[in-house]
Structure 1
Amino acid sequence: MQIETIHPEQFNDVIRLWETTVRACYEYYSEQHIEDIKQRVVTRQLDNLTLRAVHNLEGEMVGFIGTRNSKIAMLFIHPESQRQGFGRALVRYAVELLHCDHLEVDYRNINAIVFYRRLGFTILKSGDNTPPLVVMQK
């Protein structure tokens, strides 16, 4: 499994992967909310993140992680590629090589919270912000 740097010419692929994952895994987001996040956050934030991608054996990008300073800002794995070690590899890369030690996750994303806890993150605080986020630290 190889982890590679994402370059600006790949941003459209990143956005498509983000959108596919959100539509499949975040049933609590409305269509309008997804579009708002996509325009307001995702497309504007990519330039300000350190981005890494992981590819499957066919060379397709199946996941990516975005970090800033010591924070994991986003992690998305294509629904068909989840539970195959791609997310774990990206988080380990971010922790070990990019020195990330904290993140925020939507409190409704129970699968993500469980995933990060299995990787050694603990809940620092939750619920006192908008949107309601769980702050986790390694």
Structure 2
Amino acid sequence: MIRIRPSTPADGDRAVDIWRAAVDATHDFLTPADRIAIEEEVKGFLPQAPLWLAVDADDRPIAFMLLDGSSMEALFIDPAHRGRGIGRALVEHAIGLHGTITTEVNEQNDQAAGFYERMGFTATGRSDRDGQGRPYPLIHLLFSPRS
């Protein structure tokens, strides 16, 4: 059974560990240099970011989501816990908070793109580069509750 709770400063290192493991498992399209550069950026902001954590029975974080209002800026699940409904639970938490949710997914990340499609997100656009100007196309997504 998982529980969702806000992060605390003590969760920062674990959030970076989750990010690292998840990226290494799903982002094989990144160049080695970009992978290193992105990790440095992540280590600079993620530990202080206001995250929603999915935690196990021992209160150990196993996934996190970063929301900026109704924009889901990040969703990462420890690969050892994938396929157990944790990503779905976090997204449903965001929907419960905001109803309509936007996010972006790397076009090359087929697993994540499929997850968002199964969750009911629809594509609203595409960018040729990521938010830092790197050549990793993004698909812009929207979840809007059905009336």
Q: Do both share a fold (TM > 0.5)?
A: yes
Deviates more, 1:109-118 or 1:123-132: 123-132
Task: Find 1:132's aligned residue among 137, 143, 147.
Answer: 137
Alpha-carbon shift at residue 108 of structure 1 (Å): 0.4
Give 1:61's aligned residue: 61
Superposed CA RMSD in Å reads 1.9
Asked if 2 retains the 8 angstrom alpha-carbon contact of 1:72 and 1:100, the reply is: no
Counterpart amino acid of residue 12 in structure 2: F
Q: 1:136 to 1:48 in 2, by over 3 A?
A: farther
Give 2:88's aligned residue: 88
Map Cα deviations across residues 10-66 of structure 1 (whole Å, 9 max, x no partner). Answer: 1111001100111122112233222211112x2334377431111223433110001
Counterpart amino acid of residue 39 in structure 1: E
In structure 2, list runs of 5 or more residues that go unmatched: 131-135
Asked if 2 retains the 8 angstrom alpha-carbon contact of 1:54 and 1:86, the reply is: yes
5 Å-filtered alignment, 1:1-138, equals 1-40=2-41, 42-46=42-46, 49-99=49-99, 101-130=101-130, 131-138=136-143
Which ranges of 4 or more aligned residues in structure 1 deviate by more than 4 Å? none
In structure 1, list runs of 5 or more residues that go unmatched: none
Map Cα deviations across residues 63-89 of structure 1 (whole Å, 9 max, x no partner). Answer: 000111210000000111111010000
**d(CA) in 1 for partners of 2:142 and 2:92?**
14
SS at match of 2:20: helix
**d(CA) in 1 for partners of 2:5 and 2:107?**
29
Asked if 1 retains the 8 angstrom alpha-carbon contact of 2:53 and 2:63, the reply is: yes
